Amino acid sequence: MPCVGDTPAVTGVATVNDDPHQAFVGDWVVISVCDLPKVVETASAAQTSITLFIEGMDSGNEPVGVDLQAGTLTFVLERNEKNRNLWKPYLYDPLFDRDVSLRLSVGIRGEHPLPKTPNSNLTVRLRKIYVDWTTWVWLALLVALSAAIVISAIYTDMLRDGAPIEGIRQPYSLSRTQMAWWFFLIVLSYVFIWLVTGDRDSIPPSLLGLMGISAATALAASAIPTGGARRASQSWWRDLVADENGIVALDRLQIVVWTIVLSGIFLTSVIWDLTMPEFNTTLLALMGISSGTYIGFKLPHKQ
């Protein structure tokens, strides 16, 4: 399709899939540009590069292939650290809103996208989740992991304070349950984000601090020597919030409530925004104080 006047313009967009207007994150897209040599020359003179524009915004993605004779540029629909915020509104809610339309174009980095020729179609339908046999394999592994944790929690002493005493099973451990919960939640979320976006670097540093707090709490709780009679396990919830006398304890309830609140924030961010939240130092300090209070109240009960 000829250019309009002497201005280079985009004439079409196609993907490498069976449906040339169906795309996934990580797909190759081929964009046709009339008078492409002129665009390349302009970018070279400005000592910059040609980049992919998504809905009029510069994604920063440079072409992986340039065919001057055919007048085409090949890009990868890549989501990376630099353009993560650009992708956020288009990958929002991948479970319940599976598709979104994207208008693609090209331009010189830092400038506006090239105009399009009349009647040209620059829109692709982005399928947010790519499903193939590997997706089902990972789903099966996650289901197996979930089942293993639940079965182990019910039929073994993995999440309890210790082995049975005189045939009586000990209560569920709050600190071990919290550590197992964050471990499972982060693994599940990491795989989900990776399957949707291909991002392998989605764990923020604050989550390492959160896991460190839960692990340190479990270690400190297990290091406190046992003394006196131990109450028998009553129920999972009762064991988590009640002390050794069977009374609901504020220090335990505080940890449980904050864990539920942060888990809700965490899951909302993962499911809707495809990102793990970055908890600030104040929230981490709050969890640390709650854990320290819990450990402190365990000490007099053991004496």
Determine the structural domain holding residue 255 and report its residue range. Answer: 133-302
Domain C-terminal end among 76, 102, 127: 127
Asked, for residue 257, whether it belongs to a domain, the answer is yes
- Nearest by Cα to 84 from 278, 283, 282, 264: 278
Let me know whether 180 and 58 are in one domain.
Answer: no
Whether the Cβ atoms of residue 211 and residue 183 lie closer than 8 Å to each other: yes
What is the structure's pLDDT at 303? Answer: 45
Domain membership of residue 174 (yes or no) is yes
User: pLDDT value at position 154?
Assistant: 85
**CA distance linking residue 86 with residue 84, whole number of Å:** 5
Per-residue pLDDT band at 4 (split at 50, 70, 90)? low
Tell which of 127, 157, 188 closes a domain: 127
Q: In 10 A of CB 290, how many CB atoms?
A: 21
In this prediction, residue 230 carries a pLDDT of 59
Any domain includes 212: yes
- What SS3 class is residue 267? helix
3-state per-residue secondary structure call for 65-115: EEECCCCEEEEECCCCCCCHHHHCCCCCCCCCCCEEEEEEEEEECCCCECC
Q: Is pLDDT larger for residue 242 or for residue 303?
A: 242
**Structural domain total, the chain:** 2
Strand runs labelled E in the chain:
9-15, 22-24, 28-34, 50-54, 57-58, 65-67, 72-76, 99-108, 123-127
Q: Are 100 and 90 in contact (CB under 8 A)?
A: yes
In this structure, the answer to whether residues 70 and 118 fall within a common structural domain is yes
**Pair 205, 293 in one domain:** yes
Residue 200 burial (CB count, 10 A):
9
CATH code of residue 40: 2.60.40
Model pLDDT for residues 49-94, shown as the tens digit of each residue: 999 999 999 999 999 999 999 999 999 998 887 888 898 889 888 8
Tell me phi and psi for residue 33, to 5 degrees.
-130, 125
Letter string b/e over residues 70-88, b meaning 16 or more CB atoms within 10 A of that residue's CB: ebbbebbbbbeeebeeebe
Asked whether residue 4 is assigned to any structural domain, the reply reads: no
The confidence score (pLDDT) of residue 12 equals: 92
Express each pLDDT in 26-55 by its tens digit.
Answer: 899 999 999 899 999 999 998 999 999 999
Instruction: Identify whether residues 230 and 92 lie together within a single domain.
Output: no
Q: Say if residue 142's pLDDT is above 80.
A: yes
Confidence band for 248, pLDDT divided at 50, 70 and 90: confident
Give yes or no: residues 94 and 205 share one domain.
Answer: no
Mean per-residue pLDDT, 265-286: 86
The verdict on 171 and 53 lying in the same domain is: no
